[in-house]
Amino acid sequence: MKITVKLYAVLQLGRFKEKSFDFSTGIAVGDVIEELKLPSEHVDILLVNGSHVDAGHILKENDILSLLPMVEGG
């Protein structure tokens, strides 16, 4: 099952900005974070096709998963 993963800000460091992956059918967002060895403490915003989801959300063919750290400003 093809999923496009987009990483933002510090999550891109030493990784990638956008990349397509083949995952097993029924994979959850949290499982993708683990498989990509992303530091879960830095992944705060989860979007699938532009909508907020939780880590248990099951992905579907051709979904776009965007992973962002918490946005801070001041």
Residue the block writes with tokens 């918490």: 70
| Tokens 């907020």 found at | 52
User: Does residue 46 fall inside a structural domain?
Assistant: yes
Classify residue 36: in a domain, yes or no: yes
Residues 58/31, Cβ–Cβ less than 8 Å = no
pLDDT by residue, tens only, the chain of 74 residues? 999 999 999 999 999 999 999 999 999 999 999 999 998 888 999 999 999 999 999 999 999 999 999 876 55
Residue 74 in any domain: the answer is: no
- 73 found inside a domain: no
Number of domains in the chain: 1
Cα dihedral 8, 11, 12, 15 sign: negative
What pLDDT shows up at residue 41? Answer: 86
What's the CA gap between 69 and 19, in Å, rounded? 18
CATH code of the domain covering residue 17: 3.10.20.30
Quote the pLDDT of residue 57.
98
